[in-house]
Amino acid sequence: MAGRYEIRFSGAGGQGLILAGVIMAEAASIYEGIQAVQSQSYGPEARGGASKSEVIISENPIDYPKVTKCDALLALTQEACDKYSHDLKEGGVLLIDSDLIHREPQGNFKVTKFNITNTAKNEIGREIVTNIVALGAMVALTGVVSKENAEKAVLARVPEAFLELNKKAFNLGYEKAMAAKK
Amino acid sequence: MAKKVAFMQGNEAAAHGALYAGCKFFAGYPITPSTEVAEVMSAELPKVGGKFIQMEDEIGAMSAVIGAALTGAKALTSTSGPGLSLKQEIIGYGCITEVPCVIVNVMRGGPSTGMPTGPSQSDVMCAKWGTHGDHPAICLVPASVQELFEETIRAFNLAEKYRTPVMIMPDEIVGHMRERIVFPEPGEIEVINRTTPSVSPEQYKPYDTKFGDVPPLAAFGSDYRFHVTGLNKMEDGFPTTKASIVQAEEERQVRKVEANADDIIKYEEYMLDDAEVVVVAFGSTSRSARFAVNEARKQGIKAGLFRLITFWPFPEKQILALSKKVKAFITPEMNLGMCTEVVKGCVAGNAPVHGIFRVDGEPINPDQIVDKMKEVK
Amino acid sequence: MAFDYDKYIRPGKLPHIWCPGCGHGIVMKGLIRAIDALGFEKNNTAIVSGIGCASRLPGYMDCCTLHTAHGRAAAFATGVKMAKPEMNVICVGGDGDGTAIGGNHFIHACRRNINITYIIMNNKIYGMTGGQFSPATPTGAKASTTPYGNPDPPFDIAKLAIGAGATFVARGTAYHATQIDKLIVEAIQHKGFSVVEILDDCPTTYGRRNKYKSVIEMMNELKDIAVPVKAAEKMTPEQLKGKVLTGVLYKEEKPEYTAEYAKVIERAKGAAK
């Protein structure tokens, strides 16, 4: 990967998407030793609304810190999917929550869908780790950082009492995405 | 030993830069999108015996900063647009009383409440003309997390060296984006402390021009005691209305910065050697501009970038020199033409200046700049 | 032997700007006697003011003096005290400066209970700008901006301070000159935010418009309306009508702000280990 790889995590405020983006960028910048910039835009709401977190990953210094043509998009809500899919590249990666998104953007995308939120809620038992399930899936689908480095970045960011929970969430997301991709 | 590396937000880096510079006092008031500066200071300052206080309002925060700075402490506040408007009277007080301090102002949309979470670059004029009266202005406009850290140290250095408030103004994108930062070792970056008096307490005058345009400043609670007032003052610090003294003191206060512009002005030149179209940009917009210059070069356009790191004093000489050898300037900015007007003033009609203005809460993207280059080349 | 005020006055800075008959000079002398009684070092004493006639006081005092912007004395003083808690920090100023434009800083300094003494010279008017009504001007009174009588009700500044959390509140008058230093000494010795309101007179801009025939009449009014707290205990509400209580009105022990912040530093250093 020589050029820019542009990833956008989108959903509602309070879903932890900024953290998911930060961890992805840290995996690249600190653990892979390549360049990464994370930025975000959000509304006045701490909870709800449409929120996005963008990560640019490159082997070269990164000038423009925002997405120009999105290589990979995560959408956890219909509102975010509608609002943030307009600049997804042809052939780009699109990961959506199959329980929550019923209107998919039209275009030639590599679409992967599974029940991301419900995986966190029912299989891990904590809806709060939805972002980590989604992150695991995005790591699997984009391949821009290794699974090992991404997991290290996750574990460095979460409180000690929740290490196992997050590890499980990350791995389950990774596996489900690999399975759904096929 | 390997240097400490972190993946950090711009605002957090500003706070760490202040700590590196030896900041021991912070007073602030919560405001988006600058609050992370206060949050880091609240956690870190007491660890080094420093003081953090959240004041009742923006004016109180600026006032407490000047009060603390007069006791000898390096003092910081952080704010954004509406807070900067509120602080202006006390910034003017800091200018006339010549008290060093640093203001981090993270630029968001305005006027008034505007767009609190959206990026903007529309406070740069407020840095120079926001408070009433003639006064010196130093304003720095970093473009990356690492640079925000380093320029915050420089802001303290300039404040102490020139005995004046200094503003550092990242736009919201630079303040909130996260990048890798490499922390310098202590001593690796120069830290300047204020010059304290060499004369006896009996002989000390807080504005004694015998020592040049930047007189030494004693601390309250030391062996020196003196008077500080926002009225026009004499060299002993007491008020005066004597015309010749007022005129001379006002001129000195502005001159101490203007005459040292070469020491204060910092900029970066990128691909300017053969450039025909030069982008003048700062903050996050300069990152779009660099991207655009690279794109344009691929398409055969001789483009270059003049990146402002110091906004005030403005690099007038450098822009004027460039204007004699280039075909056109492009000035993209997240406001309706503040920097553009200043550049136009500098080029004195030698070359056209084409602005690109955005105030919709979105950054200027590289394509907009490339399109403009094609139009004007 | 007569008290030597010159010891605390900056050489060459008198005469002061105050009008003949103004009570501010009486308050300054009271403050000087208090500082002398406390044995404060001038180098270690900061006197901070805002804007107005009363706020010119620091310029005459041979201490670390800070004449700030209108209303901001308490906020500047908070910065001084936080940065150097070992300094004695005293605010002085008028009623308009302290409770109108500076009202927010004043009440929050009360709430924090930071160890600063605030002396408010309440002459019920903005004197320096020519006699506009202040938050302490009585309803109905004439001022340059209330030509038909003041429609605003006034603050009770001492009650405002108590309500906002000041832990020592006293009131005196410019007439009761020998009481002023005693109130200030007690206020400064109290650990926490202390307020001393001194009822004062402005013959030039208030007396003249409100039918006072002389400074003596204004001073006599201060004498007549003042009732010491102790004496008031034995008086009926009817007898107290139109009177103002003087002396120490309120006192309580509560954690002081800079001492509390010292604990924050200890906790932070502990957490950093």
Residue numbers of B between 230 and 249 with CB closer than 8 Å to C = 230-231, 238-239
Closest chain B CA to residue C265: B46
Closest CA to C31 of C170, C198, C184: C184
Q: What is the pLDDT of residue B313?
A: 98
Two tokens at B8? 């950090």
The angle at the Cα of C200, spanning C198 to C202, to the nearest 5 degrees, equals 155
Average pLDDT over residues B73-84: 98
pLDDT of C272 over the 90 cut: no
Q: What is the pLDDT of residue B327?
A: 97
ipTM over 0.95: yes
Q: Which residues of B touch A22 (CB under 8 A)?
A: 7, 178
Q: What is the pLDDT of residue B177?
A: 97
| Confidence band of A15 (pLDDT split at 50, 70, 90) | very high
Query: Does the CB of B288 have a partner CB in chain A at under 8 Å?
Result: yes
Q: What is the CATH code for C7-272? A: 3.40.50.970
Q: Which residues of A touch B365 (CB under 8 A)?
A: 64, 66, 68
Query: Does the CB of A54 have a partner CB in chain B at under 8 Å?
Result: no
Average pLDDT over residues C144-168: 98
pLDDT of C263 over the 70 cut: yes
The answer to whether C77 touches C91, Cβ cutoff 8 Å, is yes
Q: What is the pLDDT of residue B3?
A: 86
Min CA distance, A21 vs chain B (Å)? 10
Two tokens at C112? 């924090």
Transcribe B238-279 into DSSP letters: -B---HHHHHHHHHHHHHHHHTTHHHH--EEEES-TT-SEEE
pTM of the entire predicted model: 0.96
- Identify which of B47, B60, B68 has the shortest CB distance to residue C105: B60
Q: What's at B96, amino acid-wise?
A: I
- Identify which of B118, B179, B365 has the shortest CB distance to residue A68: B365
Query: Does the CB of C13 have a partner CB in chain B at under 8 Å?
Result: yes
Residue spans per domain, chain C:
7-272
Q: Which domains does chain A have, with CATH numbers?
A: 5-181 (3.40.920.10)
Average pLDDT over residues A33-58: 87
Mean of pLDDT over chain B:
97
Q: What is the pLDDT of residue A182?
A: 63
Query: Does the CB of B113 have a partner CB in chain A at under 8 Å?
Result: no
Mutation choice for B interface testing from C65, C81, C107, C257 by most B CBs within 10 A: C65
Average pLDDT over residues B192-209: 97
Closest chain B CA to residue A65: B287
Angle between helices B35-44 and B10-20 (to 10 degrees): 40
Q: What is the pLDDT of residue B1?
A: 59
pLDDT of A2 over the 80 cut: no
Closest CA to B302 of B268, B279, B332, B333: B279
pLDDT of A46 over the 80 cut: no
Average pLDDT over residues C79-99: 98
Residue appearing with tokens 């002023």: C180
Q: Which residues of A touch B288 (CB under 8 A)?
A: 63-64
Mutation choice for B interface testing from A64, A69, A83 by most B CBs within 10 A: A64
Separation between Cα atoms, residue C95 and residue B297, nearest integer Å = 67
Q: What percent of chain B has pLDDT over 70?
A: 100
Q: Which domains does chain B have, with CATH numbers?
A: 5-182 (3.40.50.970), 209-262 (no CATH), 268-376 (3.40.50.920)
Q: Which residues of C touch B70 (CB under 8 A)?
A: 66, 79-80
Plot region of C12 (φ>0 → left; ψ -120 to 50 → alpha; else → beta): left
Average pLDDT over residues B147-151: 98
Bridge partners for C220 per DSSP: none
* Chains in contact with B via at least 3 Cβ–Cβ pairs below 8 Å: A, C
pLDDT of A1 over the 60 cut: no
pLDDT of B2 over the 90 cut: no
Q: Which residues of C touch B53 (CB under 8 A)?
A: 78-79, 82, 261
Average pLDDT over residues B188-197: 98
Mean of pLDDT over chain C:
97
The answer to whether B114 touches B272, Cβ cutoff 8 Å, is no
Query: Does the CB of B178 have a partner CB in chain A at under 8 Å?
Result: yes
